[in-house]
Structure 1
Amino acid sequence: MRDVLIALVICGLMLQIPKRPAVGVMTFAWLSLMNPHRLTYGFAFSFPWVAAVGGLTLVSLFMRPGQFKLPRNALVITLILFMAWMTITTPFAFEQERAWGEWNRVMKTLFFALVTMGAINNTKDTRLFALVVILSLGFYGFKGGLFTIMSGGSSRVMGPTGTYIADNNDLALALLTIVPLVWYLYLQEKRRWLRWGWALLALLTIAAVLGSYSRGALLGFGAMLVMLWLKSRKKMVTGTLVLLVVPLVVMFMPEQWFGRMNSIGEYKEDGSAMGRVNAWRFAINIASDNFMGGGFLTFTPRMFRIYAPDPNDVHAPHSLYFQVLGEHGIVGLILFLVFLFLAWRTGSRVMRFCKNNPELKWASDLAAMCQVSLLGYCAGGAFLTLAYADLLYDVVIILVLLEKVLISKDALPIRQPAPAAQSAPAALESRPA
C-alpha cells in the first residue's frame, strides 16, 4: 500500500513537469533529500524515480528554453570550475573504477544544482523550493525527535537504509543544518498554532540530533546555536528556546550519551578520533605529493600503505575539507572554500538589499537562516565526510535564487506601494505638451 501511495504521488507530480519545469526540480530535491521511496518495501524501493524525474525535467526545459535562466555570477562560475577541476582530476585518480563511479554520482548532484538555479525564476517558487528542502528533512527531525524522547535517548537515531543520511552521523549533520530553516518558518508564520508547531518541530529536530550520538554534530550544534541567536529577529524568544535546550538534555539524555560526548576531550585515547587524525595526515601527504590529489574515493587500504603515517589504521576522511584536499588537491580545496565564501556573501548581499523593505522581511530571514545552516554544516562537516551531499548545495541554491529573483538584472520588478492619486488638475499639468 505504501509503495502504491508513493508511486501515485510521484507520478502525479511528474504530470505537472511538462507544464512547469520548476515542479521537476522541486520533486528532484524532495526525492534526493527525503528518499521517500526508501521507506517502502516493494517495487517503489528500487525504481529509479530520481532519474525519471530528472530526465523529464530536462526534456521540459529543452522544450521551454525561455524558462531556463542560469545566473551569471561568481558563485555559479566557481561551482562550474569546481566541477571542471574534479573532472580533470578523475582520469588521474589512483582508484580508477571507484573514482569514475563517484564522479558520476557527484556530477549528477552538482549538474542538477545548476539546473535548479536556472529553472526557478520567481519568489513564489523560491519559497516553495525552500519549503520542500525543509519538510523533506523535517520529517526525519520530527520522527527522530519523538523516537529519542520515547526511548529516553537510549538508542541512536538512524536514517533510512540506502541513502546518504543512513548513518547516524550523516543524519545528525543533515538535521542540524535544517534547524535554522525550520526557525525561518517560525519567524514568518502569522497563525499562532502553526507558529508554535514550527517551534515544536525545531525542538524535536534538535532532540533527534542529540539522539544520534554524533560528537561532530554536537560541536557544530554549539556554533550554530550562537549564530542562530545572533541572526534571529526575535532574540528574546530564540534565546529562551536555546537556553531551554541545556536543561532538557540534562533531564532526558542517559548517562551513556554523556559518556560518548565527554570522549571529545579524550581524543588521544580514542581510537576513532586518532584514526581520523591519521586520515587527515594521509590527505595532506597525498595532496602534497600529487598536485591533483588522489582522485575520488582515494581513502583505501592500498593508498594508506603508501601515504598514511599509520598504514594499518584505514579510515574515511571524516572531514569535508580533508576529503576534498585528499581527493582533488589544494586547487580543489581552494575552489570549494571560495564556493562556500561566495555563498555566505550572497546571503549578506540579499540581507542588505532587503533591509529597509518590510515586504521583503521573509527574504532577509531566509537568507540569514541559510547562513546559519551553512555555518552549522561547515562546523559539523569538519568531522564528517559529506562534501558532495545534496543538502549543502540545496542551501546554496536557495541563496542563489534569492539573489536571482530580487537583485539580479533578470529579476522581476518588486511591487511598490501605489502612489497617492494625483488630482485632475495636477495630472493635466504633468502631461507633456
Structure 2
Amino acid sequence: MRDLLVLLLMLLSIPFTLKRPVVGVLTYAVFSLMNPHRITYGFAGSFPFVMIIAVVTLLATLASKEKKKVPFTPLVIQLLIVIFWVTLTAVFALNQAGAWEEWNTVMKTMLIVVLTIAVTRTVNDVKALVLTVAVSLGFWGLKGGLWTVMTGGHNGLLGPPGTYIGDNNTLALAMVTSVPLIVAVSSFAPTKWTKRAAIAVAILTGVSVIGSYSRGALLGGTCMALFLWLKSNSKVKTGLLFALAIPLLLVAMPSQWMDRMHSIDNYQEDASALGRINSWGFAINVANHLPLGGGFATFTPQIFQLYAPDPTVFFVAHSIYFQVLGEHGYFGLILYLLMFFFAWRTGSRIVKKCGKDPELTWAATTARMCQVSIIGYMTAGAFLAMAYYDLPYYVLAILVCLEKVLFIAPQPDNTPPLRLPFLSRRKARTDAWKQAAPVATPRKR
C-alpha cells in the first residue's frame, strides 16, 4: 500500500509540474529530504522516483514560458565558484572512479538548487518551498520526538535506510538544521492552530535531537537553541520555554544517555574519537601535500596508507570542515566557508530591508531562522561528514529566493502565484465569508 501511495504522489505531481515547474522542484525536495520511498517494503524502494521527477522538472522548465531568473548575488556567484572548484579537484582526484561517482551525486544536488532558484517566482512559491522543506524533515522530527517520549529515551533513533540521514548522528544533524525552518513556518501560518501545530512539531523535533544519542548534535542543538533565542521576536517566552523544557527533558533521559554524553570529556579513551582525530590529521596531511586536495572520495583505506598519522586506523572524515579540507584543499575550504558567510549576509540584508513593515514580518523571521539553521548545521557538522547533504543548500536557496521575489525581481500582480491550501485557499474563503456576512446594526430601544 505504501508503494502505491508514493507512486501515486509522484504521478499526480507530473501534470502540475508541466504547468508550473516549481511544483517539480518541490516534489523533488520531498523525495530528496523526506525519502518516503525508503520506508516502503516493495518495488518503491528501488524505483527511480528522484530521477523521473528531475527529468520531468528539467523538461518542464525548458518548455515553460514562465520567466526564469537566477539573480547573480554574491551568494549565487560563490555557489557557482564552489561548483567550479570541486569539479577542478575531481579532475586531479587521487581516487578517480570514486571521485566522479561522488561528483555526479553532488552535481545533481547543485543543479536542483540552481533550478529551484530559477523557477521560484512568487512570494507564495517561497512560502511553499519553506513549508515543503520543513514538513519533509518535520515528519522525521515528529516521529522521532514521539518515539523518544513514548520509550523514555531508552531507544535510539534511525532515519530512512540508504540515505544521508540513515543513522542516528546524521538524522540528528538534519533535525538540528530543520528546527528553525519549522519555526519559520509558524510566522506565515494562516491560523492560530496551524501556528501552534508548527511550534509543536518544532519542539518534538528538538526532543528527537536529544533522543538521538548524538554527542555532536547535542553541541549543535545547544548553539542552535542559543541563536534561536537571540533571533526570536519574543525572547521572554522563548527563554522561559527553554528554561523549563530542556532541564526537564535532560532529567527524564535514562542513565545510558548521560553516560554517552559524558564520554565527550573522556575522548582519550574513546576509540571513535581517536579515530576521528586520526582522520583529521589525514585531511591536513593531504592538504599540505596537494594544493587541490585529494578530490572527492579521498577518505579510503588505500590513501590512508599514504597520508594518515596512523595508517592502520581508518575512519571517514567525521567533519564537514576536514572533509572539504582533505578533498578540496585549503582554498576549497575557504570557498566553502565563504558560501555560508555570504548566506549569512544575505539573511541580514533581507532583515534590514524588511525593516518594521508588518507585511514583511514573516520574511524577516524566515531569514533569521535560515541564519539559525546555518549555525546549527555548521556546529553539528563539525563532527559529521555531511558537506554535500541537500538540506543546507536548500537553506541557501530559500535565502536567495526570498531576496529575489521581494527585492530583486518582485512578482507582477497579473501573474498567478502557486496556490497551496495551507497558504492561501482557506484564507481566501475566510475573507470572502467576511465580506459576504451582513453587518449587524444595533437595535433601537
Q: Same fold (TM over 0.5)?
A: yes
Unaligned runs of 5+ in 1: 416-433
Q: Distance in 2 between matches of 1:414 and 1:276?
A: 54
- What secondary structure, in the 3-state scheme, does the structure 2 residue paired with 1:161 have? coil
Is 1:303 the counterpart of 2:290 in the alignment? Answer: no
Asked whether the equivalents of residues 187 and 366 of structure 2 are also in contact (C-alpha less than 8 Å), the reply is no
Please say which of residues 49-58 and 183-192 is displaced more in the overlay.
183-192
1:38-53 mapped onto 2 (5 Å cutoff): 38-53=38-53
Asked whether the equivalents of residues 377 and 392 of structure 1 are also in contact (C-alpha less than 8 Å), the reply is yes
- What secondary structure, in the 3-state scheme, does the structure 1 residue paired with 2:264 have? helix
Q: Distance in 1 between matches of 2:297 and 2:314?
A: 13
Q: Which residue matches 2:92? A: 92
- What secondary structure, in the 3-state scheme, does the structure 2 residue paired with 1:407 have? helix
Name the amino acid aligned to 1:347: G
Q: Please report the RMSD computed on the Cα atoms of aligned residues, expressed in angstroms.
A: 1.4
Q: Distance in 2 between matches of 1:51 and 1:32?
A: 10
State the Cα distance separating 1:412 from its structure 2 match.
3.3
Q: Distance in 2 between matches of 1:314 and 1:22?
A: 43
Asked whether the equivalents of residues 149 and 252 of structure 1 are also in contact (C-alpha less than 8 Å), the reply is no
Q: Distance in 2 between matches of 1:256 and 1:132?
A: 35
Name the amino acid aligned to 2:356: N
Asked whether the equivalents of residues 21 and 119 of structure 1 are also in contact (C-alpha less than 8 Å), the reply is yes
- What secondary structure, in the 3-state scheme, does the structure 2 residue paired with 1:356 have? coil
Asked whether the equivalents of residues 142 and 205 of structure 2 are also in contact (C-alpha less than 8 Å), the reply is yes
Cα 1:228–1:210 change in 2 (3 A) is same
Cα 1:277–1:245 change in 2 (3 A) is farther
Q: Distance in 1 between matches of 2:96 and 2:269?
A: 36
Asked whether the equivalents of residues 350 and 403 of structure 1 are also in contact (C-alpha less than 8 Å), the reply is yes
Q: Which residue matches 2:242? A: 242
1:251-266 mapped onto 2 (5 Å cutoff): 251-266=251-266
Asked whether the equivalents of residues 406 and 414 of structure 1 are also in contact (C-alpha less than 8 Å), the reply is no
Q: Which residue matches 1:146? A: 146
State the Cα distance separating 1:78 from its structure 2 match.
1.1
1:330-349 mapped onto 2 (5 Å cutoff): 330-349=330-349
Q: For residues 215-268 of structure 1, give each alpha carbon's deviation from its aligned partner in whole angstroms, at most 9, with x where no partner exists.
A: 000011111111000101011221122112322223321000000001111112
1:32-431 mapped onto 2 (5 Å cutoff): 32-64=32-64, 66-189=66-189, 191-408=191-408, 410-412=409-411
Cα 1:31–1:195 change in 2 (3 A) is same
State the Cα distance separating 1:7 from its structure 2 match.
0.8
Q: For residues 345-379 of structure 1, give each alpha carbon's deviation from its aligned partner in whole angstroms, at most 9, with x where no partner exists.
A: 00000000101211000000000001001100001
Cα 1:132–1:190 change in 2 (3 A) is closer
Q: Percent identity?
A: 50
Q: Distance in 1 between matches of 2:125 and 2:66?
A: 16
- What secondary structure, in the 3-state scheme, does the structure 2 residue paired with 1:130 have? helix
Name the amino acid aligned to 1:345: R
Please say which of residues 72-81 and 166-175 is displaced more in the overlay.
72-81
State the Cα distance separating 1:413 from its structure 2 match.
6.6
Q: Distance in 1 between matches of 2:233 and 2:194?
A: 18
State the Cα distance separating 1:66 from its structure 2 match.
4.1
Q: Distance in 2 between matches of 1:271 and 1:338?
A: 33
Asked whether the equivalents of residues 93 and 298 of structure 1 are also in contact (C-alpha less than 8 Å), the reply is yes
Q: Distance in 2 between matches of 1:291 and 1:374?
A: 27
Asked whether the equivalents of residues 16 and 23 of structure 1 are also in contact (C-alpha less than 8 Å), the reply is yes
Please say which of residues 225-234 and 67-76 is displaced more in the overlay.
67-76
Asked whether the equivalents of residues 123 and 411 of structure 2 are also in contact (C-alpha less than 8 Å), the reply is no
Unaligned runs of 5+ in 2: 415-445
Q: Distance in 2 between matches of 1:169 and 1:122?
A: 36
Name the amino acid aligned to 2:300: T
Asked whether the equivalents of residues 279 and 315 of structure 2 are also in contact (C-alpha less than 8 Å), the reply is yes
Q: For residues 181-221 of structure 1, give each alpha carbon's deviation from its aligned partner in whole angstroms, at most 9, with x where no partner exists.
A: 11223344463333322222112111111111100000111
- What secondary structure, in the 3-state scheme, does the structure 1 residue paired with 2:18 have? coil
Name the amino acid aligned to 2:396: V
- What secondary structure, in the 3-state scheme, does the structure 2 residue paired with 1:291 have? coil
- What secondary structure, in the 3-state scheme, does the structure 1 residue paired with 2:362 have? helix
Please say which of residues 47-56 and 262-271 is displaced more in the overlay.
262-271
Name the amino acid aligned to 2:334: I
Asked whether the equivalents of residues 116 and 397 of structure 1 are also in contact (C-alpha less than 8 Å), the reply is yes
Q: Distance in 2 between matches of 1:121 and 1:27?
A: 16
Q: Which residue matches 1:422? A: none
- What secondary structure, in the 3-state scheme, does the structure 1 residue paired with 2:157 have? coil
Asked whether the equivalents of residues 286 and 326 of structure 1 are also in contact (C-alpha less than 8 Å), the reply is yes
Q: Distance in 1 between matches of 2:288 and 2:271?
A: 26
Asked whether the equivalents of residues 79 and 339 of structure 1 are also in contact (C-alpha less than 8 Å), the reply is yes
Asked whether the equivalents of residues 61 and 67 of structure 1 are also in contact (C-alpha less than 8 Å), the reply is no
Q: Distance in 1 between matches of 2:251 and 2:334?
A: 43
Asked whether the equivalents of residues 346 and 400 of structure 1 are also in contact (C-alpha less than 8 Å), the reply is yes
Q: Distance in 2 between matches of 1:246 and 1:34?
A: 27
Q: For residues 269-317 of structure 1, give each alpha carbon's deviation from its aligned partner in whole angstroms, at most 9, with x where no partner exists.
A: 2111111111111101101100110111111111111111111111111
- What secondary structure, in the 3-state scheme, does the structure 1 residue paired with 2:94 have? coil
Asked whether the equivalents of residues 89 and 293 of structure 1 are also in contact (C-alpha less than 8 Å), the reply is yes
With normalisation by structure 1, the TM-score equals 0.93
- Stretches of 4+ aligned residues off by more than 4 angstroms: none
Q: Which residue matches 1:426? A: none
Cα 1:104–1:120 change in 2 (3 A) is same
Asked whether the equivalents of residues 130 and 185 of structure 2 are also in contact (C-alpha less than 8 Å), the reply is no
With normalisation by structure 2, the TM-score equals 0.91
Asked whether the equivalents of residues 146 and 204 of structure 1 are also in contact (C-alpha less than 8 Å), the reply is yes
Q: Distance in 2 between matches of 1:62 and 1:249?
A: 51
Q: Distance in 2 between matches of 1:7 and 1:404?
A: 33
Q: Distance in 1 between matches of 2:18 and 2:157?
A: 38
Cα 1:317–1:158 change in 2 (3 A) is same
